[in-house]
Structures are given as C-alpha cells and as structure tokens.
Amino acid sequence: MKIRKNDTVLVITGKDKGKKGKVRFAYPKDERVLVEGINLIKRHTRARGQVRQAGIIEREATIHVTNVMLLCNKCNHPTRIGFRHLQDGRKVRICRSCGEVID
C-alpha cells in the first residue's frame, strides 16, 4: 500500500476535507488507514465496573486510502506516490512532485 504508518496525510474528501494528520495505523488488506484526529465518531460507552465511565467518547474511525494524499516532507505538497527500484533491489516510494525518495 502507498500510505504507511507515521506518514502525514491530507484528507481530500469527506467531512474532514483539508485536514492533515498522522497515520496511526495502516490496514493494507482493507486499504484503510486510521489518521490522528480525522473521522471522529462518537461512541456510547456503558459503565463496566470501575474501569470505564459511562458516557460518550470520541475516537477515530478508519478512512479509505483513496480519501487521503500523502504530504511530502521534502516539498510539503500533497502528492501522488511513485515507486522506484534501487540498485540494491529495494523498492522505495518517491514523490511525484519533487522526485525525492520518501522512505
């Protein structure tokens, strides 16, 4: 998957359009990511002994990778990602805007 954990991404669709956040988890199988502070949903929780308080908590829900763009940490632009094979056989991601290797 093109987006990975700890990437900084820009949300391009939905209610959080235009917001930036850091990817906390990536789920390559589902092509979804969990981004810090993005797509908050309210969950009602019930008191469970003394461990939890009853009430409403907010937490992030995953969003589809096609709804975000990677923010390049070199040129600071939201960018499409390309791939390049290095001489040692490794495949790395590159920024399509500035051509920098991202990882």
**Binding residues for Zn ion, per CB under 5 A?**
72, 74-75, 95, 97-98
Distance CA 23, CA 36 (A): 6
State the minimum distance, in angstroms, from the CB of residue 96 to Zn ion. Answer: 8
**Closer by beta carbon to Zn ion, 30 or else 100:** 100
Instruction: Please list, in sequence order, all residues whose beta carbon lies within 8 angstroms of the beta carbon of residue 102, skipping any fewer than 6 positions away.
Output: 70, 72, 73, 74, 81, 92, 93, 94, 95
**Closer by beta carbon to Zn ion, 45 or else 73:** 73
State the minimum distance, in angstroms, from the CB of residue 15 to Zn ion. Answer: 27
**Closer by beta carbon to Zn ion, 36 or else 100:** 100
Among 69, 103, 66, 53, which residue's Cα sits nearest to residue 83? 103
Tokens coding 96? 């399509």
State the minimum distance, in angstroms, from the CB of residue 73 to Zn ion. Answer: 8
